[in-house]
Structure 1
């Protein structure tokens, strides 16, 4: 698992960490039952505060994508499976949006509105 951070991004570091892990789940580089690296190890490797990584892990837990247990770390849940199933569709949608000249923010807004049932 390779966590990517963009120092130029306006997104909070914990959001970037969570997004990177979600991308690994969607691309099936992480699968249900896999353990995420210890938050302390990730923080050290990225040069960020431990609590930043823990917040990212908690966000993923709140989404149901990982289960966290004291002493056992964070483990990917079965709820991550649909992400991998949607990956090809998302890649195709993003490619079409680029061809049409839509910005990533516009595409994200459209997807969010649609997902919210608007």
Structure 2
């Protein structure tokens, strides 16, 4: 799996790390049960703080894409369909676009509700 971060980007580094994993799951490059790099190793290779990597991993855990286990590290959750990872990535992009446009949470949710009602 290839991790890339852009320190000049407005997207927080932890979010960029999480996006790399989501993309890899969506593309099938990472399979359920596969271990992600240890936070310290990944932090060293990217030149970021270990807490930055842990924030990205925590976000993935909250999304249900990985499990964090003492002694085992970060492991891709079994049974996570690749399309869920792809959808999560797209939702994050839409949310970022909405913030850029100055939409409120309720305005964005109404747009999504409207899209869901339209066949």
> Are residues 1:50 and 2:50 paired?
yes
- 2:77 corresponds in structure 1 to 77
Contact 2:36/2:76 (<8 A) preserved: yes
Query: 1:72-112, CA deviations, whole angstroms, 9 ceiling, x for partnerless residues?
Result: 1011013532437968xx7xxxxxxxxxxxxx937xx9xx7
RMSD of the alignment, in Å?
Answer: 2.7
Distance in 2 between residues matched to 1:34 and 1:56, nearest whole Å: 17
- For the structure 1 residues 8 and 62, does the alpha-carbon distance in structure 2 shift closer, same or farther, using more than 3 Å as the test? same
Structure 1: runs of 5 or more not aligned: 91-103
Aligned length: 99
Q: Which runs of 4+ in 1 moved over 4 A?
A: 84-87, 112-116
TM-score, scaled to structure 2: 0.70
Structure 2: runs of 5 or more not aligned: 91-95, 102-107, 115-119
